[in-house]
Amino acid sequence: MNKVLKKMKDYPAIVGFIGISIFFSILSNRFLTIPNIINVFRQVSIQAIIAFGMTMVIISGGIDLSVGSVFALSAVIMASVLKSGSVFLGVIVALAVGALMGFINGFIIAKGRIQPFIATLATMAIGRSLTLVYTQGMPITGLPKSFRVIGRGDFLGLPYPIIIMLSIFILIWFISKNTKLGLYTYAIGGNETAAKLSGVKVIKYKIIIYMISGILSAVSAMLLTARLNSAQPTFGGGYELDAIAAVVLGGASLSGGRGSVVGTIFGALIMGVINNGLNLLNVSPFYQQAVKGAVILIAVLLERED
């Protein structure tokens, strides 16, 4: 029993998720139905995948405001390649765009010694501008059917976006717990100077961390593009804030050195459950952002109390 209580204290997002789920299940008999639960997980998958990359960035003591722009840029370039009929090449190009943008972020931050907030704010603006220039502000539609199945298909009743989200969750969890990259991510976020003196190649690992963030933004872009059968130049607006919120709700510290992908997935689920529950209760969308903001603020205040 004590071990269970300790785990709950280590992962407050789990407690929050259970509490909010019970609350909405009492108020709406539609909340705990299988179709609705699957719907919540499907909707959460897009933001959660981005948030997994953001988790590593924040644990390392950084921040990535460019994920929404990377999402959009990856989507439109991929879509234009897909129009030529090559699904494989389109996917590779999307991942390459995400990796390149992540590399640029990591290089500027680690080698140029620019604050992550400023560096990624700049690349956020550049990425969004490149997206609008590339598309001339117009969506790219009419993608191959074989690609659309990624966002719309399912395996044994479980939608592919959920399967992909859970697969990436397991991969990032494994990296965090069982690899040098995971260990060094925590070390850099906890005390970068000490990590450097201990022989950690801080520049190298920071670049890798931001590349992972960029790649996962591109993966998320694939899923939404496939689901909607179009790539919109306005994709990803506000996604950086949703990702940061999920990480913070998951118990990560914005000062670095603390956090977990387990907390993040439950943080993302809290956001999804709030959206879904308020929709089921027919609460005006004008109030929903205020409710999410209040939940985030309470989570941060509780962290300060700890």
- pLDDT (tens digit, 9 = 90+) per residue, 33-58? 999 999 999 999 999 999 999 999 99
Q: Percent of the chain, pLDDT > 70?
A: 94
The average pLDDT across 135-159 equals: 88
- Paired residues of 140 in beta bridges: 231
Q: Give the span between the Cα atoms of 270 and 36, in whole angstroms.
A: 15
Return the higher-pLDDT residue of 117 and 301. 117
- Paired residues of 152 in beta bridges: none
Predicted local distance difference test score (pLDDT) of residue 7: 54
- Whose structure tokens read 């607006």? 237
Q: With contact defined as beta carbons under 8 Å apart, do 267 and 248 qualify?
A: yes
pLDDT classification of 302: cutoffs 50, 70, 90: low
Which tokens in the block code for residue 133? Answer: 């220039």
Which tokens in the block code for residue 58? Answer: 């924040």
Predicted local distance difference test score (pLDDT) of residue 182: 93
CATH 1.10.3470 is right for the domain spanning 32-305: yes
H/E stretch holding 158 reads strand 158-159
Q: How far apart are the first and last CA of the chain?
A: 22
CA dihedral 36, 294, 240, 210 (to 10 degrees): -100
Q: Give the span between the Cα atoms of 1 and 234, in whole angstroms.
A: 48
Counting beta carbons within 10 angstroms of the beta carbon of residue 294, is it exposed (0 to 12), middle (13 to 18) or buried (19 or more)? exposed
Q: pLDDT tens for residues 182-193?
A: 999 999 999 999
Amino acid (1-letter code) at residue 200:
V
> Phi and psi of 159, rounded to 5°?
-60, 145
Q: With contact defined as beta carbons under 8 Å apart, do 262 and 173 qualify?
A: yes
Predicted local distance difference test score (pLDDT) of residue 303: 62
Strand, coil or helix: 231: strand
The average pLDDT across 240-248 equals: 90
Q: pLDDT tens for residues 58-100?
A: 999 999 999 999 999 999 999 999 988 788 999 999 999 999 9
Q: pLDDT tens for residues 199-223?
A: 899 999 999 999 999 999 999 999 9
Which tokens in the block code for residue 265? Answer: 């997935």
Predicted local distance difference test score (pLDDT) of residue 222: 95
pLDDT classification of 292: cutoffs 50, 70, 90: confident
Nearest to 250 by CA among 14, 7, 49, 9: 14
Q: Give the span between the Cα atoms of 169 and 171, in whole angstroms.
A: 5
Query: CA of 122: how far to CAs of 31, 60, 100, 262, in Å?
Result: 41, 20, 15, 30
Plot region of 139 (φ>0 → left; ψ -120 to 50 → alpha; else → beta) = beta
The average pLDDT across 129-135 equals: 93
Q: Give the span between the Cα atoms of 306 and 179, in whole angstroms.
A: 29
